Amino acid sequence: MAKRPSKHLRAARPLSAGHASAALKADGRWIVRSVPGARAVKPYTCPGCHQPIPVGTAHVVAWPAIPSLGSASGLEERRHWHSGCWMRKP
């Protein structure tokens, strides 16, 4: 059986696909997508409170609509947030 190519060599998935929406925060425009608990299969650390987002916990993933200088795309800057932490983000 042949090995699958590394995921790092595959083309990036389009970030705006699916049910994403735009949000305007103090630091600019963000693209935001909800992640239901059933689809949350990896743990993350929330950048808002620096606490873990456990597997199975519904949350949001957000990335800047315009990538920072030095970033090829928002894919490099996406972060997983507790829904409440995202709502409190200025």
Residue 82's CB: how many other CB atoms inside 10 A?
20
pLDDT of residue 70: 84
What's 37's DSSP letter? G
Express each pLDDT in 12-27 by its tens digit: 555 444 588 999 999 9
Q: Does residue 43 belong to any structural domain of this protein?
A: yes
Mean of the per-residue pLDDT values of the chain: 88
Q: Does residue 82 belong to any structural domain of this protein? A: yes
pLDDT at residue 80 above 90?
A: yes
Residues 6+ apart with CB under 8 A from 19: 33, 34
Residue 2 has pLDDT above 80, yes or no: no
**Portion of the chain with pLDDT greater than 90, in percent:** 66
Any domain includes 64? yes
In a domain, 79, yes or no: yes
Residue 59 is predicted with a pLDDT of: 98
Q: pLDDT tens for residues 32-68?
A: 999 999 999 999 999 999 999 999 999 999 999 998 8
Residue 54 belongs to some domain of the structure = yes
83 phi/psi in degrees, rounded to 5? -60, -40
How many folded domains does the chain comprise? 1
- Provide the domain limits for residue 70: 32-88
Is 17 among the domain residues?
no
Question: Is 5 inside a domain boundary?
Answer: no
Does residue 3 belong to any structural domain of this protein?
no
